[in-house]
Amino acid sequence: MKIGILSKRTGNFTGKIKSYFESNGHQVSIFTATNLCINESLLENDFYILKSKQMLYLYAGYFLEANKIPVIPDTSLSYSHKDRIESYFAIKKTGLLVPSLYMGTLNALKNQLQNSYFPLISKPILGSGSKGVRVYNSFKDINLDTEEPLYLENFIEGNHYLAYFIENDFCICEKKPLSNEHGETNLIKSDKEIEEYLKKWKNKYNLLFGHLDLVREKKTNRLYVVDAGTFPEFSNWKREIDPVSRVCNLILKKFHEIRK
């Protein structure tokens, strides 16, 4: 089988996927920004793995799906997780608790929000993870010269968690506040509420694998979802189960289901 991978890099988890499939007799091509051209040459592969949510790869995914070439995970779902606003409401529609949201120009926010709303956290509208994220304790901290809308959420003070799922297997780690997936974490044996959050999330959108970032608020002990990802690197997967083989086999299974 001929498999394409849409990815911004050739190493890390992408490289492991390639090695696994090739060791099982498949032909694998990785398409990065240096060699990805969205044209009919892409149609030579049987299916594609969408590893990156950057727009170039999402556009390639839409092109492939329009030409009846399967893309896994689904391109539209991956885009909705990249768009901070769509992702926020997708989480909310699942019935999971999310921080309060405020969005508008800086002047509009200053006119509407009181100091008691702080601390607030700003996040880029397109993207996920901790890149471009900043915490503000007052409007004096927001020194921006832009008329573009700002995306702000209440900053939840508490214990931060990185929670992976691969089908029905979970790996839950406590991490430093605002750190990304690659930062240092400590595995926790179990957290039934986090596991229920993961089940609801994956079942709502029929996800094969992914992760949620969560915070358990110190004052109330309430559990909030602050970010979601469709295709993590599994950098902090600390279970005995091999994430590479499990993810690759789930992708193959999904491809055969689509082709039936």
- What is the structure's pLDDT at 164? 98
Q: What is the pLDDT of residues 8-67, one digit of tens each?
A: 999 999 999 999 999 999 999 999 999 999 999 999 999 999 999 999 999 999 999 999
- Is 80 exceeded by the pLDDT of residue 255? yes
Task: Give me the domains of the chain, ranges plus CATH numbers.
Answer: 2-72 (3.40.50.20), 90-96+157-243 (3.30.470.20), 101-154 (no CATH)
Task: Answer for the pair 108, 142: CB distance below 8 angstroms, yes or no.
Answer: no
Q: What is the pLDDT of residue 23?
A: 98
For residue 94, the model assigns a pLDDT of 96
Instruction: State the pTM of this model.
Output: 0.93
pLDDT cut 90: percent of the chain above it: 80
Left (φ > 0), alpha (ψ -120 to 50) or beta: where does 58 sit? alpha
Distances (CA, A) of 24 to 2, 18, 159: 12, 10, 41
Q: What is the pLDDT of residues 177-222, one digit of tens each?
A: 988 899 999 999 889 999 999 999 999 999 999 999 999 999 999 9
pLDDT of amino acid 189: 86
